[in-house]
A and B are shown apart, each in its own frame.
Chain A
Amino acid sequence: MTQEVALSLAVPLALGIAAFGGGLGIGKAVASAMEAIGRQPEAHGKIMVTMIVGCALIEALTIYALIIAFMKLA
């Protein structure tokens, strides 16, 4: 197995694992936010903004994996 083959197997796998975790996290955040909006529709704006901040922080972890993938593939 050359280095190139190893990289082309490992990099998408690593990205997939990172995206799996991030997807679970964002899914939980969005589900809770929707539940909260369903319970209190008038707080829609505030819940939305807080949810987006949380989603951005969760998503950052997946983005770090993406950057490592770019660095490895470049």
Chain B
Amino acid sequence: MTDTHTAATAEATHHVAHAAEHHHAPHELPNFLTLLSGKYEDNAVLQFLHQWENLFFSGAILAFICFIFIKAAHGYSLIPQGSRNFMEALVEGIENFVVGVMGENGRKHVPFLGTIFLYILIMNYCGMVPLLKAPSSAWSTTIALATISVFYIHIAGLRALGIKTYLHHIAGSPSNVIAWVIGIVLIFPLNLVLEYMAVPLSLSLRLFANISSEDRMLLNFATLNTTAFFPSFGASFLLQLFANMMAVLFSTVQAFVFTLLTAVYIYTMSPHGDDHGSGHHTSEPLAQPGH
């Protein structure tokens, strides 16, 4: 009895030690903060930055985006030149896309959606740049983005619908007595949970899991390249090229999907019932009401 007990304890401690060891195993390619804080272990500033590296990198990317856009917006002229040319094309493309999805009403949501698209896109791409890190491979970053999105969706919905119509919409738009009872008792709490918990969870988990598994894939192929280059005669190098191409593709698609889903959620919150009768819209909204 005591034998098995000690064996179990030994195994448990071994497991704990193993888990602790695993916790420090890298999940993605090292960034410059990892390398520097590993080299200068007594430097408090570097250790602090390494501990908060996701915040550091997301802040740095924010500053970078602000810098390039302010620089492009500086010096107005009728004929755009240089980086301003590119930025105008980019903003116009995003605007056309959002208006195509949400209709003419969506034009006022272009600043938010465009910002979130560019921010997520550049964060995702940073995972592939040597010595940088994708902050969106941590759940803390993506849940913050998703929370912002959900608040924006509901504030936009409240503004567009008014408090009464908003609550009516959340209760499933009941019209007769039975529908009112069912709507208040069942659908109202269900929709509250769905809108305020399931939406941010699914938005953030999708982005986080895609980007973090993409970074793990890059790390694993890079490791394979250094440990098994000679026996495989460069096949692992081709695999890494393939993984990088997949990473470029998925980074773009995930930023796109986050923006698109936010746009669709905003659209379902907006008053679109009276919009269908007037058929003079050149670009008819694409998203359909209801889930």
With contact pairs A45-B100, A56-B257 given, residues A63 and B206 touching in the complex (Cβ less than 8 Å): yes
The size bracket of the interface on A is 10 to 19
Does any Cβ of B come within 8 Å of A64's Cβ? Answer: yes
CB distance from B114 to the nearest CB of A (A): 16
**Mask: chain A, 32-74; 1 = CB below 8 Å from B; 0 = not:** 0000000000000110011011001101100110110010001
Select which of B11, B19, B213, B286 is within 8 A of A49 by beta carbon.
Answer: B286
In the bound complex, residues from chain B placing their C-beta under 8 Å from that of A66 are 209, 213
Contact B209 A52 (CB under 8 A): no
The number of A-B residue pairs with CB atoms under 8 Å apart is: 44
Chain A: minimal CB distance from B70 (Å):
31
The winner among A2, A3, A45, A53 for most chain B CB atoms within 10 A is: A53
Q: Is A53 in contact with B206, judged by CB distance below 8 angstroms?
A: no
Separation of A3 and B286 alpha carbons in the complex (Å): 50
- The 8 A CB mask of B197-213 against A (1 = contact, 0 = none) is 00000100110011011
Residues A49 and B260 in contact in the complex (CB < 8 Å), given A3-B15, A66-B213, A74-B23: yes
Let me know if B22 is at the binding interface, CB within 8 A: yes
Q: Smallest Cβ distance from B288 to chain A, in angstroms?
A: 8
With A45-B100, A63-B209, A66-B209 already in contact, the answer to whether A53 and B202 are too (CB < 8 A) is no
By DSSP majority rule, is chain A's interface helix, strand, loop, or mixed? helix
Chain B residue contacts of A64, Cβ below 8 A: 205, 209
**Are A52 and B286 interface neighbours, CB within 8 A?**
no
A53-B261, A74-B23 are known contacts. Are A67 and B286 too (CB-CB below 8 A)?
no
Q: Which of A3, A4, A45, A56 contacts B206 (CB 8 A)?
A: A56
Option from B19, B22, B210, B256 in Cβ contact (under 8 Å) with A52: B256
Q: Does B121 contact A (CB under 8 A)?
A: no
Partner of A59, one of B19, B100, B206, B264: B206
Whether the Cβ atoms of B209 and A67 lie closer than 8 Å is yes
Give the residues in chain B near A63, CB-CB below 8 Å.
205-206, 209-210
Q: How close is B249's CB to chain A, nearest CB, in angstroms?
A: 12
Alpha-carbon distance A67/B257, docked complex (angstroms)? 19
CB–CB A52/B253 < 8 A: yes
Task: From A4, A45, A53, give the contact of B264 (CB < 8 A).
Answer: A53
New contact pairs (20) apart from A52-B253, A66-B213, CB-CB < 8 Å: A2-B11, A4-B15, A49-B100, A49-B286, A50-B286, A52-B256, A53-B257, A56-B257, A56-B260, A56-B261, A59-B206, A60-B205, A60-B206, A63-B206, A63-B210, A64-B205, A66-B209, A70-B209, A74-B19, A74-B22
Q: Which residues of A contact B (CB under 8 A)?
A: 2-4, 45-46, 49-50, 52-53, 56-57, 59-60, 63-64, 66-67, 70, 74
- Nearest 7 pairs of A and B residues by beta carbon: A56-B257, A63-B209, A60-B206, A46-B286, A67-B209, A66-B209, A60-B202
19 A-B interface contacts by CB (under 8 A): A3-B15, A46-B286, A49-B101, A49-B286, A50-B286, A52-B260, A53-B260, A56-B261, A59-B206, A60-B205, A60-B206, A63-B209, A63-B210, A64-B205, A64-B209, A66-B213, A70-B209, A74-B19, A74-B23
